[in-house]
Structure 1
Amino acid sequence: MPRRVTVIGSGVIGLSIAHELAAAGHTVTVRGDAADRVSLLAAAVWFPFEAFPADRVEAWSIAALRRFTELAAEPGTGVRIAPGRILVRDPDTFDDAWRAWVPGIRPMDAAELPAGVAAGLRVELPVIEMPVYLAWLEGRCRRLGVRIEPGLVPGVDAALADADVAVIAAGLASGGLLGGDPELAPIRGQVVRLANPGIDEWTLDEQHADGLAYVIPRSGDVVCGGTATASGDTAVDPATETAILERARGLVPALADAPIVSRAVGLRPGRTEVRLEVVRRAGSSGASGTVSTGAGAAASGVDAAWGSDPAGAAQGISGVDAPGAVIACYGHGGAGVTTSWGCAEEVAALTASIAPV
């Protein structure tokens, strides 16, 4: 049955969800400010980076890999399949579970490896130029009938005023909309963009002794990063920028004389685990709302009473009185792009499973 759905958040997660819901026949409104899209700052190469739980991230990432591979064949999407290298300094601690999902991986020869690197992989993966991609995705959503309105709603009540379902996909703002989430915290990412001297191969070095390092060439620049620190500071730090450039130029000497084009800091929505679940299936604060008991329950559609306290089931979400269902989808850390389509598909399935109010 078609539903009226309000998606709170217009970054890559929110727009992907809106796309899947509209494609399934639902009436969808997105609320969020384009200027606040931290997704715009992503480099972005498809790669599962520090997101949990592993089994669900795997499923979401595989789904997104399939979709991005398809989109790379479409003009104007900002997605391309690009060659790259993943450097491995400590094979014993390197997480390579993703290798089972990706074809055409080749071990690097010793002569190809930078100094101090024990091993490496050559692989072709989707690279997503986020300003182009988000503009394309927003346009695709509008063509499917999605209304995109500026500004986050002040709360879940407002989102449900004209909707049967509210989807909370607002990154770091999501916790506050749901009455607080102590597991949600900002993960600071700083990047510097250089003029592209003509390189087309990306490089990822998660195990660099001096910190995370990546070099992602795009059509007009090269994104160099990065950081993944627990901090809410959005100011560009000159010392961090110097360290980023030293790592990037050490890995890619062709960048030695490339001038700086721009610099930026963004706050990723970090969480112990991505939260994707039905927070409340139906009813108001005076009705018997239910929640899933965790990632596994959400995935299977099995619900339990609100915690272990029957009285808690009647409370619903703190401060929310409007009837309607609520789905949470946030806390993707540095894997928002990589998991986006898989998460969107799951939200669409959860929406279809919710009985009418």
Structure 2
Amino acid sequence: MTSEANDILVIGGGVIGLTSAIVLAEGGHRVRLVSRDPAADSTSAVAGGLCWPYRIQPHAPAVRWSLRGFEILSRLAERPRETGARMVAGTMTEPAAAGPEDDGDPLAAWYAAVPGLRRARPDEVPEGHTGRRARTPLVDMPTHLHYLEQRLRAAGGTVERTTFTSLAEAGQEAPVVVNCSGLGARELVPDPQVHPVQGQLVVVADPGIEEWYVCAAPGATDTTYVLPQPYGVVVGGTAHENAWSTEPDPAVAEAIVARAARRFPALAGAEVLAHRVGLRPARAAVRLEGERLPGGAWCVHNYGHGGAGVTVAWGCADEVRRLVYEAPAV
């Protein structure tokens, strides 16, 4: 397909690519989204879906993007069966020694802006921990990704299964390319700064858990999270830097459930429904900027969101739209 037939080519079919494509298509552009895999097979489909900035840098823009995500996902939560988003109360905790005071906490602006967010009482967190309570969007990702694809198509966008070997190749097919290739950017750009942070989780039958719960010390490789979804409870997890395997480790799965069961004993006997492993596309800092490609196409990069892709997607999509509009003249 020639550039005359397309205004914008978006590479990447996960939540980052889909939201970027939607914002552009609903803004009047003709958008063609291409990806190697269907959204259902993307890293986004494995995500727990909690709206909270996690393992993402730099903090200041990440909080701004996260608050935009909170705003939009909260609205989508008014139609949970269609969009997959719901508002669910829960607790974010960490060992007390690991938690800085608010005035030095890089997420202080997030704490201040989320409606109703408060410090957890001692009886609401494990002994020796501190935490915060909030009602936040929790997203059923398979449903949400289907919703996003349908919304893109309704705005006139197209979705194709195609791969490119380079951005220069993609730039031959459209005057504007939006690179949302996630971990694929390591080879496509190429950008060796992009690396995987492996996350393993277990899905179990819901024994009656109504709130989400996360316990994660900064930089920890083993975390605990319990996220009730319509299809079961997502129990996690791990954050292993530079681990490429997508095969679940039975011993790791057993340890994951055991950690969660210390907080929710009913999980110990819950039926296991699925084992999943996803590779978070991590980078020292999100790359969200434009550059001119060989041949003249304008490329907007939007990748490296680590464990916060669902949270920051809409905020980053707004930045993509701005960068597309501000493309310098050739």
**How far apart are the structure 2 equivalents of 1:226 and 1:152?**
31
1:149-188 to 2 correspondences below 5 Å? 149-178=160-189, 180-188=190-198
Equivalent position SS for 1:269 = strand
> Which shifted more, 128-137 or 236-245?
236-245
1:346 matched residue in structure 2: 319
**How far apart are the structure 1 equivalents of 2:9 and 2:129?**
49
2:208 matched residue in structure 1: 198
Q: Against the structure 1 CA distance between its residues 217 and 199, is the aligned structure 2 distance closer, same or farther, given a 3 Å change threshold?
A: same
Structure 1 residue 50, shift from structure 2 partner: 1.5
1:1-357 to 2 correspondences below 5 Å? 4-32=7-35, 33-34=37-38, 36-75=41-80, 76-90=82-96, 93-94=99-100, 95=105, 96-97=107-108, 98-114=110-126, 116-178=127-189, 180-207=190-217, 211-230=222-241, 231-280=243-292, 285=294, 322-355=295-328, 357=330
> Which shifted more, 156-165 or 256-265?
156-165
Q: Is the 8 A contact 1:16 1:340 kept in 2?
A: yes
Q: Is the 8 A contact 2:186 2:195 kept in 1?
A: no
Structure 1 residue 60, shift from structure 2 partner: 0.9
Q: Is the 8 A contact 1:168 1:328 kept in 2?
A: yes
For 2:310, the aligned partner's letter is V
Structure 1 residue 233, shift from structure 2 partner: 1.6
Equivalent position SS for 2:307 = helix
Unaligned runs of 5+ in 1: 286-321
Equivalent position SS for 1:223 = strand
**How far apart are the structure 2 equivalents of 1:92 and 1:204?**
14
Q: Is the 8 A contact 1:195 1:222 kept in 2?
A: yes
TM-score (norm 2): 0.90
Structure 1 residue 61, shift from structure 2 partner: 0.8
Q: Against the structure 1 CA distance between its residues 110 and 157, is the aligned structure 2 distance closer, same or farther, given a 3 Å change threshold?
A: closer
Structure 1 residue 175, shift from structure 2 partner: 2.6
Q: What's the C-alpha RMSD, in Å, of the aligned pairs? A: 2.0
**How far apart are the structure 2 equivalents of 1:253 and 1:332?**
33
- Matched positions, count: 315
Structure 1 residue 354, shift from structure 2 partner: 1.2
For 1:252, the aligned partner's letter is F
Q: Is the 8 A contact 1:4 1:162 kept in 2?
A: no
Q: Is the 8 A contact 2:48 2:141 kept in 1?
A: yes
Structure 1 residues 100-136: Cα deviation after superposition (integer angstroms, max 9, x where no partner): 121212333333333x333332210100100000000
**How far apart are the structure 1 equivalents of 2:119 and 2:11?**
43
For 2:72, the aligned partner's letter is R
1:291 matched residue in structure 2: none
Q: Is the 8 A contact 2:177 2:300 kept in 1?
A: yes
For 1:328, the aligned partner's letter is H
**How far apart are the structure 2 equivalents of 1:245 and 1:340?**
29
Equivalent position SS for 1:277 = strand
Equivalent position SS for 1:247 = helix
Structure 1 residue 3, shift from structure 2 partner: 7.3
Q: Is the 8 A contact 1:167 1:327 kept in 2?
A: yes
1:292 matched residue in structure 2: none
Q: Against the structure 1 CA distance between its residues 59 and 3, is the aligned structure 2 distance closer, same or farther, given a 3 Å change threshold?
A: farther
For 2:202, the aligned partner's letter is V
For 1:81, the aligned partner's letter is M
**How far apart are the structure 1 equivalents of 2:153 and 2:221?**
44
TM-score (norm 1): 0.84
**How far apart are the structure 1 equivalents of 2:322 and 2:97?**
38
Identity %: 39
**How far apart are the structure 2 equivalents of 1:37 and 1:90?**
35
**How far apart are the structure 1 equivalents of 2:311 and 2:151?**
19
Structure 1 residue 91, shift from structure 2 partner: 5.3
Structure 1 residue 69, shift from structure 2 partner: 0.9
For 1:203, the aligned partner's letter is Y
**How far apart are the structure 2 equivalents of 1:249 and 1:269?**
29
Equivalent position SS for 1:226 = strand
**How far apart are the structure 1 equivalents of 2:166 and 2:197?**
24
The structure with more radius of gyration: 1
